[in-house]
């Protein structure tokens, strides 16, 4: 019984330290912004001034040069829009407001001597993601657009240029990599740092208020109801004198990835067997 309670306390302390340490994640704040705990982050909102899509194109020859493919990627980070492609067949899926679309046209070699290529048809457009299905990577360096079973990753590059879309890698058809160069992709102050920390500090305030309330109540109970004197008025004296060890265990526990560490030979168990049970 005593041991399981101390395990519980170790666990709570570890959770607390994990909360404190684990804040370096860029948390999505709006359709195209994320913010770190210190209040800095990425906000692509200035790119919504553009009423047209950012585009990037790629040429690929196929069938030993008898065919080539022209793909165009349309990207608009913050607001879904209807891309400038026409729905000609049921396979065309860009006929709704979206953030990323790909249009592929295929050209066939019709006359080798004249090197004459003819476009097959109007091409095929494919929906790749919308603003609502986007998430930021933890480090804030990219936005991931999910369109199961594939996803498109837009790497954000802080650049002092006009906003530009580039193709980074099409090697994996289910994991396309695009690159977006923009001033808006640079780290900047987004919120007041106090706001970012408010959850952690609220927890701390609640924790300390409860601790003080509990101590005062305990002291009064012991002093006036049980007639304790001197240092004995402190409730659960054994627990408090053992607290530094528990905190140490909690640290070791969270640092070692939440595996229970072997307890050292030190004075870990409390001299008073009732100390935990009386909490
Ligand atoms: C805020 O935190 C991020 C992520 O840890 C870091 O890259 C950035 O430099 C920090 N900004 C400031 C002003 O400390
Ligand atoms: C879509 O259709 C319109 C009208 O038929 C045409 O003017 C436009 O060029 C087409 N756009 C594309 C990308 O094919
Ligand atoms: C291919 O192009 C050459 C040169 O322009 C022309 O002389 C020939 O008639 C063309 N062949 C066909 C099958 O169209």
* Residue 173, preceding peptide bond in cis (omega within 30° of 0): no
Q: For residues 250 and 53, which has the higher predicted lDDT (pLDDT)?
A: 53
| Ligand lying closest to the C-alpha of residue 141 | 1
- Mean pLDDT across the chain, nearest whole number? 82
Pocket of ligand 3 (CB under 6 A): 111, 113-114
Residue 15 vs residues 25, 74, 180, 199, 229: alpha-carbon distances, Å: 17, 43, 37, 14, 36
Mean pLDDT of 45-66: 93
Phi, psi of 192 (to 5 degrees): -60, 130
* Any ligand 2 atom below 6 A from CB of 85: yes
Residue with tokens 């990577």: 137
Q: Is the pLDDT of residue 12 over 70?
A: no
Give the model's pLDDT for residue 208: 72
Any idea what DSSP says for residue 13? Answer: H
Q: Is the pLDDT of residue 184 over 50?
A: yes
Residue bearing the CA closest to ligand 2, atom 4: 86
Atom of ligand 3 nearest to the CA of 111: 1
The answer to whether 125 touches 100, Cβ cutoff 8 Å, is: no
* Least trusted range by pLDDT, from 62-76, 84-98, 232-246: 232-246
Laid out side by side, the sheet with 188-189 consists of 27-30, 33-35, 40-43, 188-189
Atom of ligand 2 nearest to the CA of 86: 1
The structure's pTM equals 0.66
Q: Is the pLDDT of residue 266 over 70?
A: no
* Percent of the chain whose predicted confidence (pLDDT) is above 70: 75
Q: Is the pLDDT of residue 207 over 80?
A: no
CB burial of residue 42 (10 Å; 0-12, 13-18, 19+) = buried
Of 241, 225, 235, whose CA–CA distance to 279 is shortest?
235
Q: Is the pLDDT of residue 82 over 90?
A: yes
Residue bearing the CA closest to ligand 1, atom 3: 36
pLDDT digits (tens, 9 = 90+) for 220-252: 677 777 877 777 777 777 767 777 777 677 667
Give the model's pLDDT for residue 203: 73
3-state SS, one letter per residue, for 79-118:
CCECCCCCCCCCCCCCCCCECEEEEEEEEEEEECCCCEEE
Cα angle 191-186-74, degrees, rounded to a multiple of 5:
110
Q: Is the pLDDT of residue 146 over 50?
A: yes
Q: Is the pLDDT of residue 278 over 50?
A: no
pLDDT digits (tens, 9 = 90+) for 171-181: 999 999 999 99
Q: Is the pLDDT of residue 140 over 80?
A: yes
pLDDT tier for residue 269 given thresholds of 50, 70 and 90: very low
The Cα 170–Cα 86 span in angstroms is 24
Q: Is the pLDDT of residue 200 over 70?
A: no
Give the model's pLDDT for residue 5: 61
The Cα 194–Cα 77 span in angstroms is 28
Beta strands 150-158 and 188-189, pairing class: unpaired
Q: Is the pLDDT of residue 77 over 90?
A: yes
Give the model's pLDDT for residue 275: 44
Within 8 A by CB and 6+ apart from 277, the residues are: 1, 2, 5
């Amino acid at each position: 019984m005593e041991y399981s309670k101390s395990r519980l306390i170790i666990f709570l302390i570890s959770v607390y330290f994990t909360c404190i340490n684990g804040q370096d994640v860029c948390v999505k704040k709006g359709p195209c912004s994320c913010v770190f705990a210190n209040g800095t982050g990425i906000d692509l909102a200035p790119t919504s001034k553009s009423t047209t899509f950012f585009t990037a194109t790629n040429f690929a020859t196929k069938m030993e040069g008898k065919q080539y493919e022209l793909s165009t990627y349309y990207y608009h980070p913050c607001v879904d829009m209807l891309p400038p492609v026409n729905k000609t067949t049921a396979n065309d899926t860009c006929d709704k407001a979206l953030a990323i679309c790909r249009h592929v046209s295929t050209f066939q070699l019709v006359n080798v001597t004249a090197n004459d290529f003819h476009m097959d048809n109007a091409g095929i457009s494919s929906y790749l993601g919308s603003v609502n299905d986007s998430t930021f990577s933890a480090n804030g360096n990219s936005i991931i657009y999910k369109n199961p079973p594939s996803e498109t990753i837009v790497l954000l590059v802080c650049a002092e240029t006009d906003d530009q879309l580039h193709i980074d890698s099409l090697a994996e058809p289910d994991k396309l990599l695009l690159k977006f160069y923009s001033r808006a992709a640079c780290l900047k102050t987004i919120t007041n740092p106090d706001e970012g920390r408010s959850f952690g500090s609220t927890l701390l305030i609640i924790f300390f208020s409860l601790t003080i309330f509990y101590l005062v109540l305990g002291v009064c109970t012991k002093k006036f109801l049980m007639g304790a004197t001197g240092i004995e008025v402190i409730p659960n004296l054994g627990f408090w004198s053992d607290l530094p060890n528990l905190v140490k265990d909690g640290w070791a526990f969270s640092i070692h990835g939440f595996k229970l560490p072997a307890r050292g030979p030190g004075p870990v168990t409390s001299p008073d067997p009732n100390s935990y049970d009386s909490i």
